[in-house]
Structure 1
Amino acid sequence: MLSNPIEILQACQRRIESHASYNVERAAWYDAKQRVKSLDISIPRDIDARVETALGWPALVVDALEERLNINGFATATANREVEATLGRVWRDNDLDIEYSQAHLEALIHGVAFLCAQPGGDGDPAPTITVESPATMTGIWDPVRRELSAAAAFVYDDEAWKYVAATVWDRETCWRLIHDNGWHVAEAYRHGLGRVPVRRLVNRARAGRRWGGSEITPSIIAATRSTVRALTRVEVASEFFSAPELIALGLSREDFGGNDFSTGYTRMMAAMMLVPDTDEPDYQRPDIKQLPAASPTPIVELIRMYSQIVAGEAALPPAYLGFETANPSSADQIRAIEARHVKRAERKQAVFGKAWIQILGDGLELAGYSPGFTDGVTINWADAATPTRAATTDAIVKQVQAGVLPPTSPVTYEQLGYSPATIDRLVADARLNEAAQQAPQVMMSPIDAGDASATTAQTVSSPTGDSDPRATHGRTTSRGGAIDPS
C-alpha cells in the first residue's frame, strides 16, 4: 500500500493519463463533436469536407437516463427530523441540489465520477462536498475492503497545459501539493477517519470491471457513425433535388459558346434555359430532358434501422429517437414501453444512492458529528417512471382510504411528488387545521366547569330519595375550597 503522497500522486497521474483517450472520446461523442470520416466511395472528398453533419444520439442516450435520476431529499426509518434537516442543510450549502446531476452525467458518460468530502475552511461550507470528473481525479482500489485506499484530485491549467496543484488522500491524512519544478507538499492535516473520504459513482460495473463503463457503448458509437454518414449523403443528395440534372440531345459545347458562357445557351440555378428556333432548313430543335432524381426514402429507412439499433441497446422507447409516431392510448401502455428504461434507472438509483449517503456521512464526521450519524438514512428518489398525475393521485387516495397511508403524513406527500419545501408547508398547514379543530373542546371556561360540577353534586340523592348535600363531603369545588363536613 502506498503511503507517500508523492507516490500516490504519481500512481494516480499515470492512471488518469492511461484513460485520457477514452474519456476524451466519450466526451466528444456526447458533445456531438466527434468527426466521422467518410468512406471516400460515393461522395468526393472535397465535398465531404464542406458538409458538417452532427447527431446527438449519444447525448440523448445519456440525458434520457439521467433525467430519471432526480433526488428529492432524504428519509430516515425513524423519521428523525434532526438528521434529515442536517443532511438537507449540507446538501443546500454545497449546491448539491444542482450539482448532483453533474455527477450523474459524468458517471454515465465516462463510467465513473468522484465525490470528495473535506471539513471546510473559512467561508466554505462545513463540511465541503465536491463533485470531480475522472478526467482530473482517480484513486487506488482496495478489492478486499471494496473501497479506495488512496485518491488524488488534480488542478489542470488549460493555458499552461500542465497540472499546477493536487489534493491527495489516504486513510488517515490529506495533503495539498503544488507543482513548481516538481511536486511539493504545501499543507497537510490528519482527518483520522480510517478510510478515504472519497466515494465513487460507478456506472455499469462488473466483477471484472470495477471502474464501470460508459452508457455510450461501442455499438451506439458504431450506429451513430453510420447514421452520420447516411445524413451526409442525404445532405449532398438534397442539392440535386433542388436543382435536378438536365440532358440536352443535339447540342454540343460550342452551342453554349465554348468556354465562354456569356454567349449561346445558358443554364444556371433559378434561371430559365432558352433554346430559340431558327429559319435554317437544316436546323433540328434539340431535345432537352430532365433526369429523374433518386428518392431519399432508402436512406431514410436506413437511418430508421440505425435508430432501432440504438433504441434497443439503450432500452429507449422508439419515440425518443423521432421515428415512432403512434401515440400510446393509456398510461399502462406508456409504462410497458418504458419498462426496461425505468428498470435501468432504478438500478442506477440503488448504486448512486449508496455513494451519496456514504460521502455525506464522511463529511459530517469530518465536521465533528458522531460516527454513524447517517445510519438508516436513504435517498428519497423521485419515481423513475412516467406516471400521469391523475393515476398517481388516484392510487394514493385509495391507499389513504384503505388506511395504508396517513392522509397528512410527509410520506403521502412524497408519493404525490411534492417538493420538500412544499411538503413542509403542507405538514404545517395540516397541524394548524388539526389544532383549530381541537380548540373548541379545550376552551371551556373554569366558571362553566365549576357550575357543572356543583350541579352534579346537588343531584346526588339520599337513600330516602331526597337530595342529600352530604354526598359532597370531602370533594373539592371548582373554586378550589373544601366543603365543610359539619
Structure 2
Amino acid sequence: MTVALRTTLSSDERDMIGKLNAKLHKLQPRDRLNEAYFEGEQRLKQIGIAVPPELRVFELVVNWNRMYVGEIARRQKIKSIMVPGGKKKRSKALQEGFDANNLSSEIGLLNTETMIFGRCFGTVGTNDEDAGHPRIAIESPTQMSCLIDRGRRRMDAAFRQYRTEEGQRVGTLLLPDRTIQVVAGRGGWEIDEVGDDTGVDDHGLGRVPVVLFLNRRRLSKWTGTSEMADLIPLVDAAARALTNLQVALETHSVPQKWVLGLSKGDFVDKNGQPIPVWQAYYTSIWANQKSPKEVEVGQFSASDLKNFHDTTNHYAALASSVTGLPFRFFGQNTANPAAEGAIRADESRLISNTEDKNEAQGVGIGWLMSLYERFRTGEWPAAGLAMKVEWRNPATPTKAEEADFIQKLNGGTPVLSREGSWDEMGWDEARKDRERGYFEQEASDPVLDRLTRNLNVDNANADDPASLG
C-alpha cells in the first residue's frame, strides 16, 4: 500500500464531492421527517391539524412506527457467517473480525437505520490500532451519499461528511482506488493533511469499500423506501383522534354546570370573600348572597366518549393489516393467552417480512465481510463471492417447542447432528466452544475411564471359558 504525495484535489474529485453533497442535501427533508416520526416527535401541525398554544399540552402521538421497526429489528439475529463456495464452513477469522468490530450490536443499528431511512451504509478500511483486524463501520445515511453507475450497477464513489465539535465540516471521499480525507474551508473542500498523514490512502482495491443497504429496493431506484411509509398516515390519523380525545376528557372529566341569575361576584365563601374560579368550578357546594328563588342551577349531561375509542381501535386494526403485526401488538389482548401454534400462525406475515429483510441484509453483510477479508489478507475470498450469513429463526419460539422439535428430528434415524441441534437452538460459536470443552472433559474423566476399563475387563473374562474356573 502506498501513499500518494499530493496536496490538492483534482477537478474531477471536486465535481464528485459537489454532486454527492447536493444529493445528500436533497434527501435531508425526507430524512428529518422520518427521524421525527420514528422518535415520535412530529408536531400535529405537520399532519394537518392546528392546535392553539393553550391546548398543545393535550397533543398525543402513539408511536406505532418505532414499535413496528423495533419488532422486526429484534428478530434479526445473526447465527453465523460462513465462507462462500462449495462446502460452506464457519471461519474463525471472520468470527474474530465480527467480534473485534462489535458487529453483534452494530448490525442491530444497521437494520434499524435501514428501515427508518430506507437506506444505510457499511464501510471497511484499514485499522491503524490493530492491523490484523480491519475496521468495519456502520455509517449514518443522514451523513453519507453515493453515486451509482446504473449501467454496470456498481458504485462509482461515496462521500461521508459531518461536523466536528468545533463546528468544522470534514469528510471522506471514497473512490475505487483511493480514500481521501477532506476538510471544508473558505475556498471549498481541500485535502485534510495532519502531521505526517497526507490524507490520501491509495489502497488499489478496484472498488469502492462501501456497501449500500436498501429497504424495499426497487429497480433503478437507489434510495430505498422507509418501512414506516405505509404506517405514517394511520399514525397521523390516530394522533388526531387521540388529541381530540384528550381535550374531550378534560372538558368532560367534571360535568359542565350552568347557572342563571348569578354573576362572578356572587360566589363567596362563609366569610363573604369571593371564591377563586377553579374552586367554584370543582367545589360541589356553592355559596351566594341571593335568594334561591332568584337563581337556577343545573348540570349538562356527560358525553359518551366511546366513539373515540372505536375510532382509535379502527385505526389500530388498519395498522395491523398494513404492517402484518398481530392485532394484540396494538393492545387488543384477550383474557386467555394464545397457544404456541396460534402465536406462530398469528405472526406469519411478520415472520415472512423479517425473513425477506434478512435475505437482503445478509447479502450486504456478506459483502462487508468479503471486503474485510480483502483488507485483511490482500486477496478476495473465493473469486470475490460474498460471505454467507445465517440468521436465527425470526419466529417467537418457546423452550418447550424448541426441545420438542429437536427431539423429534433426532428420534429414530437422526436428522440433526449434535452441533446441528446447537444451531437450531441459536447458540453462538462461543457457546458451542464452551460445550465442546465440556464434552472433552467428560471424555477424559479419570473416574469414568476407570469404570469403563473395569467393565471391559469383566466382559473379556466373561467371554473366556478359562476365567470361569
Do both proteins adopt the same fold according to a TM-score greater than 0.5, normalized to the shorter chain? Answer: yes
C-alpha RMSD over aligned residues:
3.3
Per-residue CA distance 1:1-31 (angstroms, 9 max, x = gap): x993322221111110000001011001101
CA separation in 2, counterparts of 1:69 and 1:28? Answer: 24
CA separation in 2, counterparts of 1:263 and 1:151? Answer: 72
* Deviates most, 269-278 or 171-180: 269-278
State the match for 1:25 in structure 2.
33
- Determine if the alignment matches structure 1 residue 184 to structure 2 residue 190: yes
- Determine if the alignment matches structure 1 residue 237 to structure 2 residue 237: no
Among candidates 320, 324, 348, match of residue 311 of structure 1: 320
CA separation in 2, counterparts of 1:265 and 1:72? Answer: 67
1:326 is displaced (CA, Å) by 5.3
Return the letter of the residue paired with 1:226.
Answer: A
1:423 is displaced (CA, Å) by 1.7
Contact 2:369 2:387 in 1 (8 A): no
Q: Unmatched 5+ residue regions in structure 1?
A: 456-486
Contact 1:68 1:385 in 2 (8 A): yes
After the TM superposition, which residues 283-362 of structure 1 pair with which residues of structure 2 at under 5 Å, given as runs? 284=293, 286-325=295-334, 327-362=336-371
After the TM superposition, which residues 90-129 of structure 1 pair with which residues of structure 2 at under 5 Å, given as runs? 90-122=97-129, 126-129=133-136
* Deviates most, 399-408 or 287-296: 399-408
CA separation in 2, counterparts of 1:40 and 1:310? Answer: 20
Change in Cα spacing, 1:74 to 1:403, as seen in structure 2 (3 Å) is farther
State the match for 1:169 in structure 2.
174
Q: Unmatched 5+ residue regions in structure 2?
A: 1-9, 193-198, 465-469
CA separation in 2, counterparts of 1:304 and 1:170? Answer: 51
The TM-score with structure 1 as length reference comes to: 0.80
CA separation in 2, counterparts of 1:35 and 1:276? Answer: 45
- Determine if the alignment matches structure 1 residue 194 to structure 2 residue 218: no
1:45 is displaced (CA, Å) by 2.2
Among candidates 1, 5, 13, match of residue 13 of structure 2: 5
- Determine if the alignment matches structure 1 residue 149 to structure 2 residue 156: yes
CA separation in 1, counterparts of 2:122 and 2:47? Answer: 43
Among candidates 391, 401, 411, match of residue 401 of structure 1: 411
Secondary structure of the corresponding residue to residue 148 of structure 2:
strand
1:252 is displaced (CA, Å) by 5.2
Q: Give the number of the structure with larger relative contact order, counting CA–CA contacts within 8 Å between residues 6 or more apart.
A: 2
1:48 is displaced (CA, Å) by 2.5
CA separation in 2, counterparts of 1:336 and 1:48? Answer: 43
The TM-score with structure 2 as length reference comes to: 0.83
After the TM superposition, which residues 397-436 of structure 1 pair with which residues of structure 2 at under 5 Å, given as runs? 397-409=407-419, 411-434=420-443
Among candidates 280, 298, 307, match of residue 268 of structure 1: 280
Contact 2:45 2:51 in 1 (8 A): no
1:421 is displaced (CA, Å) by 1.9
Contact 1:166 1:176 in 2 (8 A): yes
Among candidates 397, 401, 414, match of residue 391 of structure 1: 401
Per-residue CA distance 1:80-106 (angstroms, 9 max, x = gap): 45xx21111111111111111111111
After the TM superposition, which residues 209-220 of structure 1 pair with which residues of structure 2 at under 5 Å, given as runs? 209-217=221-229, 219-220=230-231
Among candidates 28, 49, 67, match of residue 56 of structure 2: 49
Secondary structure of the corresponding residue to residue 45 of structure 2:
coil
| Structure with the higher fraction of residues in helix conformation | 2
Contact 2:373 2:381 in 1 (8 A): no
Contact 1:405 1:412 in 2 (8 A): no
- Determine if the alignment matches structure 1 residue 203 to structure 2 residue 215: yes
Return the letter of the residue paired with 1:203.
Answer: N
Return the letter of the residue paired with 1:31.
Answer: E
Return the letter of the residue paired with 1:189.
Answer: D
Runs of 4+ in structure 1 off by over 6 angstroms are 38-41, 440-444
